[in-house]
Amino acid sequence: MPDLKTAPPETAALLVWFDENARDLPWRVPPRERLAGHRPDPYRVWLSEVMLQQTTVAAVKGYFARFTEAWPDVRALAHAEEDAVRRAWAGLGYYARCANLIRTARILADAGGVFPGTAAELAALPGIGAYTSAAIAAIAFDEPIAVVDGNVERVVTRLRAIETPLPAAREAVRAAVAALVPQDRPGAFAEAMMDLGATVCTPRNPRCEVCPLSAGCAAFSKGASARYPVKAPKVKKPERQAVAYVIRDENARILVVKRPQTGLLSGMTGLPSSAFTEGPADPPALPVKIAQERDCGSIVHVFTHFRLTLEVRAARAIPGAALPEGWRWSEDAEKEALPTVFRKALTRALAG
């Protein structure tokens, strides 16, 4: 084990804890193996970090296994059929991540399939922001850089009893993390902070009695762990409305459309729908004439920046119309790579 005598006491205690308590994750090299010289695969680190954005570990594990089985390295992903990648991604949400995943894989494959080793270089790639670039650089390449996600924010605001509400406190949190990052095991430190927040320093009922940082934790010393992180009052999400159709033809196939390559749900397969508007929505323009229209009620779907009420209608298509480019009849729409909002709409229409 590297000499931790020069590391801050919190850092040394955390790494000792991590070596015994690290989570077993499919994209991770366990601490003991890293200490023996085994390096993480940057491709697996990158893929996991992109998938984990706004998503839980439990939700990601299955997707990660399917992706790495189908495309085991960045060159394989770069040469994959885009629709196949989108189908494999369906249900994870935040679909711009999928488009950026493909773009980045192709850029890296053209450069020989080698990932850049610094956060600054990684941040120049599509879809890799400040957090993701720091996480990849630290975990895969041991760059001594502060990696701050929601778990780390919670740990540090409690450790230092930071009274400034989030998100305004983020610079103070980053500075506090940077002061703790060791030179010899920065990747392990980054993973340890994440694990501590996920398993011990949890949002509710933190397990302070087993925390390796409790001796120096300002919030614990005051008996006020649950008070942190202090959060600014929640701002109500804007409300938007839209109309979607589930249209069958004479063979019971369902009409679907490939969405534009830009904007929300870009490039994904969807149901015919209107724009998502702030006021009442008009029905979408359809490439077929319809009959037997039926109101199926509405569903609610919450996106990152707004809450959508989607009115769902079912109808039969009048035969004879040729479909324009991007539109097609699906033999089994339930097996299509539909974003969650359209899957909800399909379920609602088929149920009633």
47/61 Cα distance (integer angstroms)? 11
Q: Residue 300 contacts by C-beta under 8 Å, 6 or more apart in sequence?
A: 307, 308, 309, 310
Neighbours of 289 (CB within 10 A): 12
For tokens 């994959």, what's the residue?
80
For tokens 């406190």, what's the residue?
169
SS3 state of residue 60: helix
Question: End-to-end alpha-carbon separation of the chain, Å?
Answer: 62
**Position 258, amino acid:** K
Q: How distant, in Å, are the alpha carbons of 60, 77, 105, 312 from that of 69?
A: 14, 11, 16, 37
User: Nearest-5° angle of CA 305, CA 55, CA 351?
Assistant: 75
332/323 Cα distance (integer angstroms)? 18
Choose the catalytic residue: 10, 20, 33, 49: 49
Q: Is 171 annotated in the active site?
A: no
53/122 Cα distance (integer angstroms)? 16
Q: Which of 243, 265, 244, 255 is nearest to 323 (CA)?
A: 255
Q: Do residues 136 and 46 lie in contact, with contact meaning Cβ atoms separated by under 8 Å?
A: yes
Task: Supply the residues annotated as catalytic.
Answer: 49
